[in-house]
Structure formats: structure tokens, C-alpha cells
Structure 1
Amino acid sequence: MSDLPPRDPLESDEAPDMAAAELALGLLDGDERAVAIRRVLAEPGFARSVERWRTHLAQLFDLWPAIEAPDLFARIEASLDRPAEAPVATLALSPPAKSKLWPALAGLSSMAAAVMLFVLFTRPVPVPPAPQARPTATVAAARAPTLVAAIDADAAGVASATAVYDAQAGAMRITEAKLVGADRSAELWVIPADGTPHSLGLLHARGGTALTLSRENRARIAAGAVLAVTVEPIGGSPTGLPTGPVVAKGSLTAV
């Protein structure tokens, strides 16, 4: 192990760690000082660098003797108590001028602040116009009442069905009902006020049926409209209009 003393941090080939120098000079405060102290505890090399800086700077401090700071406060008080024969530049610091100047500036500042407050509180504040609410189709549908129809079978011994229309979802659910034979399809129609039937879809014989309606059919669903079930070929009407007899029907009612 070498007995040579550690090299001066200013003579090192590498750039000195200025954080170590700043900590040694007492220039760090707050978070920076806390970080540097943690480094002293965690990094032996950094701690040695701080100590070298302190030793190096202590030698520089020894080159200049300590000089007591002059008593400036006493000199300032003495200058304020002097009579008014001081030069023009000194007269600005004399008590008479000071006593007149600062109250005048304070009065002007108070007046300016009062004027600003008066303007702020008396100026009419423009009120932005309220945005015009445009109800969307979803909001309008959410406010629409639920519609229910009891679809009564015309033939004896045929079970009836119940239809419930959810306006917000635009969907209709029909309970299970066996309205036609296995070799036929039961097709549901809506008949609005104009009397023209429009197909809503095919009904399932088991488990009930859930139908999502098109935008056009949603507009036709309203209280008083008639739901009718017809007997059609497998797969539904080939013409887009009822081709078989009506086996059940009922009117939609708001609940």
C-alpha cells in the first residue's frame, strides 16, 4: 500500500466533483444539501473528496487574516441625524425628504389599488350564453316510455305471447309461444297508423325471441301500433308482405 499523501483535488487528471466543493464551502441548501450528505454517507470516494476540499480551502483561508466587518448600521444612523448642510445627493436620504416622499408614494399606491378594485367590482361581467341542448336520439329514446303488447292468438288452443319494446336499446323481446307448426315460420309484423305492415323478424318456438329493430322500424313503434303474427314459409315471407293468415295480434301500450 502506498504511503504517498492524497493528491490535491485541483491537480487531479479527472474533473473535480463540484458538488463536493460546494458542500465544503457551505453553498448547498435544501434538497441539494440533503443529496450531498447522503452521498457522503454512502460513497466513501465522495466523502474523501469533500474532506480534501475542506483541507485545501482551509489553507487558502489562512493566507488572509480575519477582518471584522465595519459597523455600517451606526454610520447610517449617524448620517440620518446630521443637519441639512449635506450635499444635494445626501439630502435625498435626510429625514425631512424621507418623511415626505414615502407617504406620498404610499398614498399614490393606495389610490391606484382603490381604482383597480373599483373597476374590477363595477365592470359588468359578460355572461356566456347557455349552450343550446340538442337531445340526441339516445336521450330521446331514454325518455320514451316502455311499450308492451299482449299478442293474443286467434285460434283456440294456441298460446299467446307478450312483446316488450325497449326504446333505449331499440330492441323488442317476445315471450315463448308456439303459434305455427314445425313446417312453417311465425313472422312478426308492425302495422302503424297508415295500415301498411312491416316485418320485424321471425319468432322462435322455444326460448322466446329478441329482435333488434332497424331505424325505420323503430320510428314505426309507438303506442297504438298493432303487432301481428302471420304464418309464412320456412324463412319468412318471400315478398316482404304477409302471405299467410294472421294467427295472433295485439296493440302496443305505454307502461
Structure 2
Amino acid sequence: MSDDTILPDDPGRDPDMMAAELALGLLDGDERATALRRMLAEPGFAQDVDMWRARFGDWFAAWPDASPSAAVWARVDRSLDAPRVPQADAVLRPNRWWPAATAVASAIAAVLLAIVVLRPAPPQPVPAPAPVASAPLPTAPATMLVAAIDPGEKGPPVSAVYDPATAGLRVSAATLADANQSAELWIIGADGTPHSLGLLRTTGASTFTVTAANRAQIAAGATLAVSLEAVGGSPTGQPLGPVIATGKLSQV
């Protein structure tokens, strides 16, 4: 694998491994919440996440499907059933699998070393100030909401991230409408009525600041939907065209 297949599109910037870990689904808990907030606050980080998702998708698609032969499964079964008794002369017998095992181990070690070298050092913790008796207790951060909006045959799911603390909503890049239509995003909350959040961009990610009237509708279990409307969106405030993608919001 050459260097230009793992670095970001900007050759002058080191790769942000948190973006790669988020794209692979390796983060959870506070780390995942931090990464999702960075997607809303840092356009460069959000572009890195989209880049990693696209490249990982290309790699997974290019990797050929392969199934182990019956002989391999038979050897696995025999190795599981056989008693594990050390052989005194085992070190003297040649093993024809040893070169292959050594090569695989070397490759894994090289990948791990690259991740350790390229990953930036974690920030040093800042000591918390001494509590003041009269100071109010800090409030817990608002819970992030995410959704995977599935457009079916039109492409892979589109990710949406909502931060209640800032009322910011980010929808990843997707081409869901042609030049003769507009893709409009709706929230369907507890009242069961679609409320327009705005039009999705035809290129790049879409960002919205949710109005005060619509914030009450955005909660875990609410549905995000995309409909195809005339250019400029529905003039009635309700979807007139077909709904092509939906996804439910959940807490992270």
C-alpha cells in the first residue's frame, strides 16, 4: 500500500486517525460523542471522515470474496480435537507454514507501527480548577442524536448528526436529486406531521441550524425523511413528491 492511499487529500496535513476510527466504527462512548461533535464544528475533520469512508469502501469492494476449502476446515477441526501435548522434537521438525505465518505477522506489525507513528499524541489533561462552594453544579452535555437515512437503490445510507447544544444538524454528502428536482429534508416527530428542515445540497455535505419551532420535534425515535420536490422545495410546507429515504434518530 503506497503512502498516497492512506493520507488525506491535502498532502500538507497529517492524517487525523480519529476520523479513520470513526469511519470504521471503532469509537464508542465519550470518544464517539467527541468525534461526532468535531464533525459539526470542524469542516476539515468532517471531510476527513467522508474521505476515509469512501476509501475504506473502495478497499472493501476491491477485496475479492474467498471461502476456505474443505481441507482447511478439516485441519481446523483436527487441531481443535487433538490433545495439546508438547512435542520434545517439535523444534527440530520443519514446518512448511512457518514462512507464511512469519510474513503475516510482519505485515500486521508494520500496520500497527504505522498507526502508532501517524496517530497524533493525545492532548495532556488540564487540571480542573478547585470547586467553589457557591458555584452551581455543572450540567451534563446534551446527548447527540444520529440517524442513517437509507435511500434504497439510490445509494448507501446517508448519515445525519444533530447536536442539541448548538441546534446544528449535518447530513453527509449525497446526490439524491437531479438538476430538475430538489431533495428536501423533513423531521417527523411526536405530532406525526412532517416539518421541513431545508434542502439538501447537490454536492458536499449539508448543514442546518434547526429553528426553535422544529427543535421540539427532534428527539430519539423521530424520523428524518427525504422527498423529491420541484426545484426550490415544496411551496405548501408539506411534502408533495415521493419520499425516497427515511431513517430514525437514536442517542449516542
TM-score range, shorter chain: 0.3 to 0.5
Question: Higher relative contact order at CA 8 Å, sep ≥6: structure 1 or structure 2?
Answer: 2
Structure whose CA Rg is larger? 1
TM-score, length of structure 1 as denominator length: 0.44
TM-score, length of structure 2 as denominator length: 0.44
